[in-house]
Amino acid sequence: GIVQEHLEDAKQKGTHLMLEGGRHDDFDGLFMKPALVTEVTSDMKVWKDETFGPVIALQKFNTEEEAIDLANSTAYGLNASVWTKNGKKARRVARSIISGAICINDVDANYIMSDLPFGGVKESGIGRVYGKEGLRAFTNMQSVLRDRLGLKKELWWFPYSQGTQKLFRKVINTLFG
């Protein structure tokens, strides 16, 4: 499957697996063991593709800006998490990441909060579910305006009447002499 393929790709490209992952012996091999992948590079499938399995891929960075660039460098943006003890830094970084949802010091708390919209950006997801935004995804917004004053046309609409032309000349002469 995809998870195993991504782990094999990472191994071939020199990553280190702190937790091996792989198929679980029980359950007829239908479940995967967790994998913790370190020394990840941007060309590895565990980094650039959506794995949707119990895999954490860690990539080193030197600056906050580099971390944000790495997070935003993929074509996907379903969910992200920022981990730090510094709340101000966490909020600053979270605001800079392009993702449908971002959790600070958690991975998926947003998923269980049904009042919040859930969905991805970029090539992740197909819109929003849950909350007001989820409901709006199934609606078609339409603006309907009505002329409440009963004017037949706006003052500035063409063709201008002689009275309108006279008014415009007076305004222009007053403003620009």
CATH class for domain 2-136?
alpha beta
Q: Which residues pair with residue 23 across a beta bridge? A: 32
CB atoms within 10 A of CB 16: 12
User: What does the block give as tokens for 94?
Assistant: 């979270």
CA quadruple 61, 32, 124, 103: dihedral sign: negative
| Residue-wise pLDDT tens digits, 2-57 | 999 999 999 999 998 999 888 888 888 788 999 999 999 999 999 999 898 999 99
The pLDDT tens digits of the residues spanning 8-19 come to 999 999 998 999
Render pLDDT for 83-138 as a digit per residue (tens, 0 to 9).
999 999 999 999 999 999 999 999 888 888 888 888 889 998 777 777 777 777 77
What is the residue extent of each domain of the chain?
2-136
SS percent in the chain: helix, strand, coil, step 5: 35, 15, 50
Q: Looking at residue 152, what is its pLDDT?
A: 65
What is the predicted pLDDT for the residue at 39? 94
